[in-house]
Amino acid sequence: MGVPPVHKPISPKTMLTSRLLFPIALFSAGALHASTLYWNNPAADSTADPVLVVNWTDAANWSTDAAGLTASALAPGSADDAVFNSTPLGGLSTAIRVNSAGIAANSITFNSTGTTNITGTGNQQLTFYGGGLTSNAGAGAVTLGTSGANRNISVRFQENQTWTNNSSNTVNIRNSAAASDTATGNVVLTFNNTSTGQISNSGGFSDGTSGFSLGLVVDSSGTGAVSINGGTYSGGTTVKRGLLIQSGSSQGTGAVTLGNNTGSDTATFRLNTSTVQTSGLNVQSGNTGSNVLQFAASAAGGWDGDIQLANALSVQVRGSNTTTFSGDLTGSGSLTKEVYAASAGNGGTLEMSGNLTYTGNTTINAGVFQLASAASMTFFIGADGVNNTLNGTATVALDGTFIFNLTNAVALDGNSWQIVDVDGLSETYGSNFNVAGFTGDNGVWTGGGYTFTQADGLLTYAVPEPGSLVLAAGGVVMLGLRRRRKV
């Protein structure tokens, strides 16, 4: 038998040589050389070179160690984590030019205390894979793209990912942002601001051309806002906690979810647009914090989609604007109307023109709550004094229909239910006001032993005469029985 050949281990030098021989293949398949690569800024003279302009794709600008001692053979690819770790002298700005048709990274982290601006040499594209983006505490402002001609950077999201801003400075997305055209599934982009810095978008969000949707989630533990310019994305918008500011005409075509199903944090969705929103709105159950919908634009806006209240919702209206809810409001939650705190005025008007069938209370603490002539408001009647109410300290203008759901009502002689809190509210009744199934006479509405009186806001029950019929809210006719009057 012959002596088998001896296979020597491949030396690190040989491996590096092999990597240098095939840069194109490795760059296009970043998963083959997953690395952490550090941006290696050259020193800048604060007077002669106030802004550094260097190319992303130049491997000489990247190192494999944080100190910048070991040069990288390649710029980052789709599996690599890119870290901006060094700051030019004097904390100056770094302007990075993308001089390739498309660049990618698994994640990008910013530690540099100077500002970092990444722009194109034409209209280029930067794709983030699953690692997303992080701006750490102390990092300077970060801007991706620009409003300048032929300097755009469109941002693409290949996979589900989180963008975290731990800094007091802003992360800006200046141009279009979308699910990647090569994404293999729906993509969810989560924003988490942990400090006072914002994440801001001015180019709008959209789905990818692959047909998969993009959805946005705000899950911020800090006070910094996420500010978006809307878009056409269809994966929905969720504000679990923190503040989302919407300045575009629409927050996409998907439903909006407000609140978390755990915890005690506040979730706020602020509309800086007068465009009436058509999406559905779901207020999440399980959270003990506040869920706030703010209409903050200088001109009136509104919400035309249906609203599901599984928890309490606070609606804040700016100044003297009239905000209209045209859809139906359902669920087990409650609604409170308040003034938008940053505005002057009395808190404006919240006009309801749909059907209100949520089982919680409606509290009006500022401005006017208006029940339009085409609208209805359902009150669920239970044991003596047990029902949802219309209460507060402001004004209600009632021109629609009251519906009393008597399915669980305890019909005992003398029982009563406070429907409208006339002691706290200033109430008016319009010419179209009515009580479904009841007959009205000068502000007193009667039906089947029940009486609603506008003057005191009370629904009362008195046993009908023998042989009379009681018409329940659901259309069920029951024989009224005489009971002994309570003493």
Count CB atoms within 10 A of the CB of residue 297.
19
Q: Which of 476, 478, 456, 457 minimizes the C-alpha distance to 467?
A: 478
pLDDT value of residue 346: 85
Instruction: Specify the residue for token string 């996420």.
Output: 226
Asked if residue 399 lies in contact with residue 370, where contact means CB atoms within 8 angstroms, the answer is yes
pLDDT value of residue 163: 98
- What's the token pair of residue 146? 């620009």
Q: Cβ contacts of residue 112 below 8 Å, gap of 6+?
A: 39, 41, 84, 85, 86, 87, 94, 139, 140
Count CB atoms within 10 A of the CB of residue 130.
14
Asked if residue 427 lies in contact with residue 452, where contact means CB atoms within 8 angstroms, the answer is no
Digits of tens for pLDDT over the chain (487 positions)? 444 444 444 443 333 333 333 333 333 333 345 899 998 865 444 444 445 567 889 898 899 998 888 999 999 999 999 999 866 655 567 788 887 778 999 999 999 888 888 988 878 999 999 999 999 999 999 999 988 777 899 999 999 999 999 999 999 999 999 999 999 999 999 999 999 999 999 999 999 998 999 999 999 999 999 999 999 999 999 999 999 999 998 899 999 999 999 999 999 999 999 999 999 999 999 999 999 999 999 988 999 999 999 999 999 999 999 999 999 999 999 999 999 987 778 889 999 999 999 999 999 999 999 999 999 999 999 999 999 999 999 999 999 999 999 999 999 999 999 999 999 999 999 999 999 999 999 999 999 999 999 999 999 999 987 755 544 444 433 333 333 333 2
Asked if residue 115 lies in contact with residue 94, where contact means CB atoms within 8 angstroms, the answer is yes
Bridge partners (DSSP) listed for residue 305: none
CA 172 – CA 158 distance, rounded (Å): 19
DSSP-derived 3-state class of residue 191:
strand
Q: How far is CA 208 from its chain centroid?
A: 20
Q: How far is CA 242 from its chain centroid?
A: 9
Q: Measure Cα distances from 294 to 237, 267, 279, 313, 360 in Å.
A: 15, 11, 15, 11, 20
Q: How far is CA 371 from its chain centroid?
A: 27
CA 15 – CA 33 distance, rounded (Å): 11
Bridge partners (DSSP) listed for residue 340: none
- What's the token pair of residue 3? 């002596």
pLDDT value of residue 42: 54
DSSP-derived 3-state class of residue 192:
strand
CA 454 – CA 41 distance, rounded (Å): 75
DSSP code of 91?
G
